[in-house]
Amino acid sequence: MSKSLARVERALAEAGIAARILEMPGETRTAEQAAAAAGCALDQIVKSIIFAGTDDGHIRLFLTAGGNRVDPARASALAGTPLGRADADLVRQETGFAIGGVAPVGHLSPVRAWFDPRLMEFPVVWAAAGTPRHIFAAAPADLLRASGATVAPFTA
């Protein structure tokens, strides 16, 4: 088992979430790929969208429904600082995950995060489990609690 996958499994267990991590036969890097693999609606996929703060260079995480897009102005207002693109090296350095497999839990460092209210409309949502081929299902309220995110509107 990869270190990334093990961190997600441990974080879920520590949060009391009895989620089974599934390995998919193909990649689940995009919300569309993940929804097809999970057999769920596109908006049931939790996308981990990451920006870098221009003030401190640290990442900010926006957990959004698969069909939604993060509005950079709204995201910056929530973060209290202008946000820019986070490159792959920064994402891996702060989360421990490669882009395309960033989980909402199990990061190497604490991450400020926000949660799309749309995700709360489903009984179950699906998220990346630390690799481009692993996903897990959880109740949105459990995922919100485990991620430490704040529910807030930030989509376009």
Which DSSP string corresponds to 16-69? T--PPEEE-SS---SHHHHHHHHTS-GGGEEEEEEEEETTT--EEEEEEETT--
pLDDT-above-90 percentage for the chain: 94
**What are the tens digits of pLDDT across the range 126-151?**
999 999 999 999 999 999 999 999 99
> Do residues 66 and 43 make contact, with C-beta atoms less than 8 angstroms apart?
yes
pLDDT of residue 1: 76
**What are the tens digits of pLDDT across the range 39-75?**
999 999 999 999 999 999 999 999 999 999 999 999 9
pLDDT of residue 93: 96
Q: Which domains does the chain have, with CATH numbers?
A: 3-151 (3.90.960.10)
**What are the tens digits of pLDDT across the range 72-126?**
999 999 999 999 999 999 999 999 999 989 999 999 999 999 999 999 999 999 9
Q: Which of 105, 128, 144 is nearest to 29 (CA)?
A: 128
Question: What is the pTM for the complete model shown?
Answer: 0.96
141 sits in the region (left: phi over 0; alpha: psi -120 to 50; else beta) called: alpha
